[in-house]
Structure 1
């Protein structure tokens, strides 16, 4: 009996030493965790929602830059799942999902501008000269000022500005002068700033989500819509539109946002990985958008779409039509005129 007890004690000691050795070598790490230098960190998934087609530059950048940079940079503690093409709902729906935390991240447009007033600024009409002007403004102090209230009002943290692009009107007839807008049934996003611009041009505006646009154009519920031509191509609207007016009447940015509660629950290292990946992905997306215009235009022309470049009078007429909108904005917001002047000055 004593002999058996001694044998058991020896085996127990060996087992204890072995377990300590394995733990020291990392053998005790639990499945689904990874080391961050301070202990095991539970792996988490970041769902990223947007409304763009799969092959749009937004999703190309997300798949080629954001996803690998986050997953590799976090050493497996963060996994990225991309839900494109409104798979998690239309813009307002997935934006609300990010706000309430059912979706971790999203890339909306300026859907929040109704009650975060400064978020409307980048979509003021005829504000930006070109892409370089946009990037200079949004990636500097003005961009930070624009997003300053986003976290306190909506509970989302801004990460990076990306580009939807300069908006143009596609239609089923040629637009040669401002008079051609009269009676034109145009789909626009359900955002007051957009709707007012369309109405000031003389169009009959029908607000609707982007996911419904193809069917509305195909069934002739509307005659046209406004979006960058990358979206026209990626969404297949060229199949149901004959013309594009190179109006460049508005620049539409998008913004990488993340639920603040989720983000604040991550380690500082994970937060920095996400910030860096968002910045790199957004920068890449800007480059793709700038380079894609010529290819997109050729593709659309090859598919029967006619492009019209407005002459100086037509462009001046469109800009002058926006004056009442600016008058209202400047009267309503004490900060607006100064913001406008600062942005215009950055183009010089």
Structure 2
């Protein structure tokens, strides 16, 4: 059954890949500007259907765009990696076969400043993270995205504070030793896992459930909203509330398409993206206690690290910062600016 559903999803993605770029001249509307062309915006992401990212897209972004544009802009949401894993749909937005996406920071390999968003133990709380990403620092992080990758940034949203889930308790640093840990295929993630003492296995998020179920890996790191929405709690027993990294997401649109839109259409999309992302920040922050209660009801045990354990994790991660500072002259000043934003 899973194979059949996967085949249908792939077939649908192939069929739709050429549809979104088709344009027909519409009569326009007061909201979209006179003579505006009609565009269908496919929005791809890797989150489960019930994740706050997709709730916000359905409840805010889609209705706002379609209503405010008078029908010249239509939105189709492709969640749960329907149009490919993160790299695939991000590349689709870059080359224009997919109009929009909400990736993580996969682009940081080519744009090093974007890696800042996921440096370990850097953010104090949601308010601190939101102030950084939605303010001048967030603009600075994305300033090269359009020129280097051909995608236009619209709004920062929140994935949340990442924590480790596993099939056994993690209550001290030594418990990471020998732990087969799935992490995204991003150098900073991999290095952090290794410094903590884990055996890191990079893989796309779409493969995580099966890897956990078949004991290919023992654990993974993600915000607990993802643990719940993706059903991984069925194949895990423990969560360490490590809050070791804040993970943001970014609403993006193909730059060529962006420049073809009318000024009114661009304003509508940007306004809707910011409203949707702002709503998603709110949903993510509010959902933590509810997600935790749900997971506990389903047998997940939570471990909150004491001060000594947390300090040990931060100390273990310090060589990563030493390497970053040696590589990027701007990095230390950036860290200081981010920490100052918490005050």
TM-score for the superposition, normalised by structure 2? 0.92
Give, in whole Å, the separation in 2 of the partners of 1:73 and 1:293. Answer: 32
What's the CA shift for 1:33? 1.7
Larger radius of gyration: 1
| 1:184 and 2:166 correspond | no
- Partner Cα separation in structure 1 for residue 275 and residue 37 of structure 2: 25
Equivalent residue in structure 1 for 2:195, among 184, 192, 200: 200
C-alpha RMSD of the superposition: 1.0
Task: Tell me the CA shift for residue 206 of structure 1.
Answer: 0.2
Q: 1:272 aligns with which of 256, 267, 270?
A: 267
**1:44-99 per-position Cα deviation (integer Å, ceiling 9, x unaligned):** 10000000000000000000000000001111100000000000000000000000
Indicate whether 1:162 and 2:157 are aligned.
yes
> Which of 10, 15, 28 is residue 35 of structure 1 equivalent to?
28
How many residue pairs get matched? 318
Supply the distance in 2 between the matched residues of 1:47 and 1:209 (Cα, whole angstroms): 21
Question: Is the CA contact (8 Å cut-off) linking 1:190 and 1:207 kept in structure 2?
Answer: yes
Give, in angstroms, the shift of residue 36 of structure 1: 3.5
- Residue 311 (structure 1) aligned with residue 306 (structure 2): yes
Q: After superposition, what is the alpha-carbon deviation per residue over 1:234-281, rounded to whole angstroms, capped at 9, x for unaligned?
A: 000000000000000000000000000001100000000000000000
Q: Check the 8 A contact 2:25/2:35 in 1, yes or no.
A: no
Aligned to 2:71: 76
Q: Separation in 1 of the partners of 2:338 and 2:328?
A: 16
Question: Do 2:28 and 2:37's aligned partners in 1 also have CA atoms closer than 8 Å?
Answer: no
Contact 1:46 1:79 in 2 (8 A): yes
Q: CA separation in 1, counterparts of 2:43 and 2:25?
A: 21
* 8 Å CA contact 2:86, 2:103 repeated in 1: yes
Q: Distance in 1 between matches of 2:216 and 2:34?
A: 59
| Cα displacement (A) at 1:40 | 3.1
CA distance in 2, matches of 1:32, 1:303: 52
CA displacement 1:176-198 (0-9 Å, x = unmatched): 10000001000000000100000
Residue 250 (structure 2) pairs with residue 232 (structure 1) = no
Q: CA deviation at 1:43?
A: 1.3
Distance in 2 (CA, whole Å) between partners of 1:95 and 1:35 is 30
Alignment TM-score, normalising by the size of structure 1: 0.90
Structure 1: gaps (5+ residues): 1-30
CA distance in 1, matches of 2:199, 2:275: 40
Structure-2 separation of matches of 1:114 and 1:44: 31
Q: Report matched runs for 1:103-114 at 5 Å.
A: 103-114=98-109
Separation of aligned partners in 1, 2:212 and 2:145 = 34
Equivalent residue in structure 2 for 1:95, among 86, 90, 94 = 90
Measure the CA separation in 2 of the matches of 1:136 and 1:215: 36
Whether the aligned pair in 2 keeps the contact of 1:34 and 1:43 (CA below 8 Å) is no
2:340 to 320, 340, 345: 345
2:329 is the counterpart of 1:334: yes
SS in structure 1 opposite 2:291? helix
2:5 aligned residue:
none
Distance 2:144 2:323 in 1: 22
